[in-house]
């Protein structure tokens, strides 16, 4: 009994201190507690809102699978970004914390890769080919969270299109690097400078934000955080393993799973159909063409040469 009274006095003291620090009257807040509604599962998780966000454009049933799986992906991208932010903002970062948080990120990527069969095997090709025509020019290419994950993992020069990397000056600004980013190849005609609608709409909406994120993460992206920890900690084999695993999962395994799914729906008898985003996807999407590698210094020259080829 005495223990409960002590605990309750301590709690009141803490509440008093917290609200006074905010310039608020703690007694008003305590009064409010008397009338608070009990929390429920459906309110806390916003279930009604969540379940109202699926709005198919066609009468084809498998379109719901497509929409919901993309939404699940975006939620997991958000979980990944939250872990990246924790690493980025950690001041006294050490190998133990770093490895543990990378483990979480890698677990999320594992889920994304393993569940991609929902796209590849979980829809009828005939149904997909019907509803996809209503989606043009939208494409997963326009996933801003996916791009943000990339920008937060590695220095921007590692995302510059491989053909422009050798020409990049040492003083190139983040703005210049962003203009030569690898994903431009999906929608830009390098000869005429013309951009397709998918890319144009994407840039109008997000380019400024990507530039802001690139500045924000220039010195706190995953690689920058790694080279800033103590040299002895950098040698931690579990940490190196986790970084390599992340690079491989994002830039080879997910990419290949996605690529094989595109092959299933968009290629038959050697004929390739144009995707909703209008890219020359067969070439563009392959990791050996894109050669985006977050942590090139952690791979041997042979591994780099064979990137995405095995
Ligand atoms: C049947 C399922 C899918 C097919 C056939 C497919 C196909 C494609 C194709 C062909 C592209 C190249 C750009 C274009 O021309 O549109 C692309 C890009 C992309 N898609 Fe998908 N996709 C599928 C599902 C998904 C899912 C579930 C996600 C998760 C968010 C996703 C995310 C992306 C991303 C991030 C890109 C850009 C990749 C890059 O720039 O290398 N896709 N997709």
Domain-wise residue ranges, the chain: 2-36, 68-305
Question: Which atom belonging to ligand 1 lies closest to the Cα atom of 274?
Answer: 15
- Give the distance (Å) from ligand 1 centre to CA of residue 59: 22
Q: Whose CA is nearest to atom 12 of ligand 1?
A: 281
What residues contact residue 309 under an 8 Å CB cut-off, 6+ apart? 288
**Are 182 and 161 contacting, i.e. CB atoms less than 8 angstroms apart?**
yes
**Angstrom distance (rounded) from CA 201 to CA 214:** 20
Assigned CATH class of 68-305: mainly alpha
**Angstrom distance (rounded) from CA 213 to CA 258:** 26
Question: Which atom belonging to ligand 1 lies closest to the Cα atom of 265?
Answer: 5
Q: Whose CA is nearest to atom 32 of ligand 1?
A: 140
pLDDT on residue 1? 57
Question: Which atom belonging to ligand 1 lies closest to the Cα atom of 116?
Answer: 27
pLDDT on residue 279? 81
The low-confidence residues of the chain, meaning pLDDT below 70, are 1-2, 310
Report the interhelical angle of 2-21 vs 26-33 (nearest 10°): 120
Ligand 1 neighbour 259 (Cβ under 6 A): no
Question: Which atom belonging to ligand 1 lies closest to the Cα atom of 278?
Answer: 15
- Give the distance (Å) from ligand 1 centre to CA of residue 282: 12
Ligand 1 neighbour 70 (Cβ under 6 A): yes
Burial group, residue 224, by CB count within 10 angstroms (0-12, 13-18, 19+):
middle
């Amino acid at each position: 009994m005495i223990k409960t009274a002590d605990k309750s006095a301590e709690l009141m003291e803490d509440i008093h201190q917290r609200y006074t620090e905010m310039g608020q009257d703690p007694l008003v807040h305590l009064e409010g507690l008397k009338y608070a509604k009990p929390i429920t599962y459906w309110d806390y998780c916003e279930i009604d809102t969540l379940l109202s966000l699926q709005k198919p454009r066609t009468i084809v049933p498998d379109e719901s699978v497509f929409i919901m799986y993309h939404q699940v992906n975006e939620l997991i991208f958000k979980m990944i970004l939250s872990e990246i932010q924790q690493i980025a903002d950690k001041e006294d970062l050490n190998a133990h914390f770093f490895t543990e948080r990378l483990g979480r990120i890698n677990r999320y990527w594992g889920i994304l890769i393993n569940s991609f069969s929902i796209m590849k095997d979980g829809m009828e090709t005939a149904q997909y080919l019907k509803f996809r025509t209503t989606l043009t020019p939208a494409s997963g290419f326009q996933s801003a969270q996916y791009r943000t994950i990339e920008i937060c993992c590695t220095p921007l020069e590692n995302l510059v299109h491989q053909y422009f990397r050798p020409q990049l000056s040492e003083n190139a600004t983040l703005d210049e690097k962003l203009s030569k980013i690898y994903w431009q190849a999906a929608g830009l005609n390098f000869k005429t400078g013309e951009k397709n609608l998918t890319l144009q709409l994407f840039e109008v909406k997000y380019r400024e934000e990507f530039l802001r994120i690139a500045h924000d993460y220039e010195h706190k992206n995953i690689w920058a955080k790694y080279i800033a920890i103590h040299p002895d900690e950098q040698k931690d084999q579990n940490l190196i393993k986790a970084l390599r695993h992340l690079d491989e999962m994002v830039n080879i395994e997910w990419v290949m799973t996605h690529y094989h799914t595109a092959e299933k729906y968009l290629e038959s008898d050697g004929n390739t159909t144009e995707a909703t985003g209008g890219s020359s996807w067969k070439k563009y999407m392959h990791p050996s063409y894109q050669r985006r590698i977050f942590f090139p210094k952690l791979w041997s020259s042979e591994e780099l040469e064979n990137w995405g080829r095995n």
